[in-house]
C-alpha cells in the first residue's frame, strides 16, 4: 500500500494537472478558432449583402440619377423594381423614408405605408431608427432580430442599409444568420465532444498506468517477499550452522581436554585408594597428581568459559579483553604477537565492545587455521569519528574466489559491523591480510565521571 500510494498519488496529481492544462488549452484554442470561423462567416454574409445591394442600385441607378427629388413617377418605378427583387426563400429589399414610414416590404406587406420609427425587436434593439441613422451616414450594417418570412418567428439578421439622400430614403436588405449560429454551435459542440473524448483517453491512460503501477508493486512485493523469505531461511540456517559449529567446538574441547583430565583424576584417585588400602607410602603422591590434574581441568574450564564470554570484557573493558585474547593466542600458537592501544576519550557501548571483540576473535581463529603467519599485530583506538580495530598478519593471504574466502567467519564479521552501521575493510595479498573494522561515533558513550575506560 505504501508503494502504491507513493507511486499512485503523484501520478494522479500529474494526470489531473495535465488534464486541466490540456482542457484549458484545447478550450481556449477552440474558442479562438470558433471566433475566427464566426467572423469569417459573418464577413462572407456581409459581403453577400453588399453585393445584393450593389446589384439593386445598378438596376435603379439610371432612374434615380436622372430624377428630381419630387419626381413621384421615378420613385414609384424604383419601388416597383425593388419589390420585384426577391432572392432565396427569405431575401428581399425594403425601403423606409427618413420619417420612419415603410415604402417597400414585398414579403411582409403588412408593414407597407405604416410608420415604424419606434420599432424595436424583442430584446429592445432599435430597428427603423437605426436604419435611418445609418442611411443618413451613407451606409452600414446593423444586427438585430427580425421575423423570418418562412417561419414567422424571430431570428437573428444582419442588414445592410444605404441612403438615397435626394429622396430621403433608407434602402436595405438583410440576411438571416441563424445558419451561421448553428454552424458555430455545432463547432462548439464538436469541441466539447473532443474535449470529453480527450478526458476519456487521459482517464484510460491514467487507469492503465495505475494498473501497471499496482501490478508492478504486487510483482515487486511478491519478489521481495520471496527474496526476504529465502534470506530469512538462509540466515536461519546460518544461525543453526553457527550454533552447531560452536557446540561441536565446545564438545571437542570438553572431550579432548576436560574429559581426559577428569579421567586422569579418577585414575589417580583410584590408585591412591588402592595404595592406602595396602599401606603403600606412594598414596600421597597419587593424591597430589590427581589434585594437579584437577587444577588443570579447572583452568581449562575457565578458558572455555572465557572464550564463550570473557568476563574481563565486562569488568575491565575492550582493551584489556583484547590484550588477554592476544596474549593467550600467542602462548597457544607460538605466533609472535603485538598489541597496541590508546585511551578512548569516550566509552564504547556494550554492543560495540562485543562486536569488536568477536571480530578480533574470529580473525585470530582464521589466522591460526589458514594464514600460516609468523607475526600478528592488533591495534584498537578511538578517534574523532568513533573507534577502529585493525588486525594484520604476514601470512599467505587469500583471494576473493578462493575456497573458504567467503566463509561463515567473514560473513559474521560483516554482519556484526553492518548492524552497528560501521564499515569493514579486508585487504589480502600474498604478503598478508589486513582487517579493519570501524565503529561510528554513535556507539561511543559520554565520558564517565568515575572511571575512564582505556583501550
What DSSP letter does each residue of 386-451 carry, written as one string? EEEEEEEE-S----TTSTTTT-HHHHHHHHHHHHTT-EEEEEEETTEEEEEEEEEGGGEEPPPSS-
More confidently predicted of 134 and 198 = 134
Q: Which residue has the higher pLDDT, 144 or 257?
A: 144
Can you list the positions of beta strands (E) in 91-168? 93-97, 102-104, 139-147, 154-164
Q: How do the domains of the chain map onto residue ranges?
A: 2-176, 311-445
CA distances from 335 to 71, 93, 200, 324 (A): 144, 127, 80, 15
**Does the pLDDT value for residue 127 go beyond 80?**
yes
Look at the domain 2-176 and name its fold: Beta-Lactamase (3.30.450)
Cβ count within 10 A of residue 330? 17
The three cell numbers locating residue 327:
596474549
- CATH architecture of the domain with range 311-445: 2-Layer Sandwich (3.30)
Backbone φ/ψ region at 208: left (φ over 0), alpha (ψ -120 to 50), beta? alpha
Q: Which of 35-39, 237-241, 406-410 has the lowest mean pLDDT?
A: 406-410
Residue 310: pLDDT above 60? yes
d(CA 151, CA 157): 14
Structural contact between residues 318 and 455, judged by C-beta atoms closer than 8 angstroms: yes
| Residue range 428-433: mean pLDDT, rounded | 85
Query: pLDDT digit string (tens) for 378-404?
Result: 988 887 777 888 999 988 877 654 544
Amino acid at each position: 500500500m505504501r508503494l502504491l500510494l507513493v507511486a499512485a498519488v503523484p501520478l494522479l496529481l500529474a494526470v489531473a494537472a495535465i488534464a486541466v492544462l490540456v482542457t484549458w488549452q484545447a478550450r481556449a484554442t477552440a474558442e479562438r478558432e470558433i471566433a475566427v470561423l464566426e467572423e469569417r462567416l459573418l464577413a462572407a454574409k456581409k459581403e453577400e449583402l453588399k453585393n445584393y445591394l450593389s446589384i439593386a442600385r445598378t438596376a435603379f441607378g439610371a432612374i434615380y440619377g436622372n430624377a428630381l427629388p419630387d419626381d413621384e413617377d421615378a420613385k414609384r418605378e424604383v419601388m416597383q423594381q425593388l419589390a420585384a427583387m426577391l432572392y432565396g426563400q427569405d431575401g428581399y429589399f425594403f425601403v423606409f423614408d427618413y420619417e420612419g414610414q415603410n415604402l417597400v416590404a414585398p414579403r411582409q406587406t403588412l408593414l407597407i405605408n405604416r410608420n415604424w420609427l419606434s420599432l424595436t425587436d424583442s430584446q429592445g434593439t432599435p430597428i427603423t431608427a437605426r436604419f435611418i441613422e445609418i442611411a443618413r451616414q451613407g451606409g452600414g450594417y446593423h444586427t438585430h432580430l427580425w421575423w423570418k418570412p418562412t417561419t414567422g418567428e424571430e431570428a437573428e439578421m444582419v442588414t445592410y442599409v444605404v441612403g438615397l439622400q435626394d429622396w430621403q430614403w433608407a434602402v436595405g436588405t438583410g440576411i438571416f444568420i441563424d445558419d451561421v449560429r448553428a454552424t458555430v454551435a455545432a463547432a462548439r459542440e464538436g469541441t466539447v465532444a473532443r474535449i470529453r473524448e480527450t478526458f476519456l483517453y487521459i482517464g484510460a491512460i491514467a487507469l492503465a498506468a495505475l494498473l501497471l503501477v499496482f501490478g508492478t508493486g504486487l510483482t515487486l512485493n511478491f519478489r521481495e517477499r520471496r527474496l526476504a523469505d529465502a534470506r530469512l531461511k538462509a540466515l536461519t540456517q546460518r544461525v543453526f550452522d553457527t550454533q552447531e559449529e560452536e557446540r561441536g567446538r565446545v564438545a571437542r574441547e570438553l572431550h579432548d581436554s576436560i574429559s581426559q583430565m577428569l579421567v586422569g583424576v579418577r585414575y589417580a584417585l583410584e590408585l591412591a585408594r588402592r595404595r592406602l588400602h595396602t599401606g603403600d607410602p606412594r598414596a600421597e603422591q597419587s593424591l597430589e597428581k590427581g589434585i594437579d590434574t584437577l587444577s588443570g581441568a579447572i583452568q581449562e574450564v575457565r578458558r572455555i568459559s572465557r572464550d564463550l564470554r570473557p568476563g574481563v570484557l565486562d569488568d575491565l573493558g575492550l582493551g584489556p579483553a583484547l590484550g588477554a585474547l592476544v596474549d593467550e593466542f600467542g602462548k597457544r600458537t607460538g605466533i609472535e604477537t603485538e598489541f597496541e592501544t590508546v585511551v578512548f576519550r569516550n566509552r564504547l557501548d556494550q554492543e560495540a565492545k562485543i562486536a569488536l571483540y568477536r571480530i578480533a576473535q574470529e580473525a585470530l581463529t582464521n589466522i591460526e587455521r589458514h594464514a600460516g603467519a609468523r607475526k600478528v599485530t592488533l591495534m584498537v583506538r578511538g578517534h574523532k569519528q568513533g573507534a577502529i580495530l585493525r588486525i594484520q598478519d604476514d601470512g599467505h593471504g587469500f583471494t576473493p574466489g578462493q575456497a573458504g574466502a567467503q566463509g561463515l567467519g567473514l560473513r559474521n564479521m560483516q554482519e556484526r559491523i553492518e548492524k552497528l552501521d560501521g564499515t569493514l575493510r579486508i585487504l589480502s595479498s600474498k604478503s598478508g591480510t589486513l582487517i579493519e573494522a570501524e565503529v561510528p561515533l554513535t556507539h561511543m558513550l559520554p565520558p564517565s565521571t568515575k572511571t575512564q575506560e582505556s583501550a
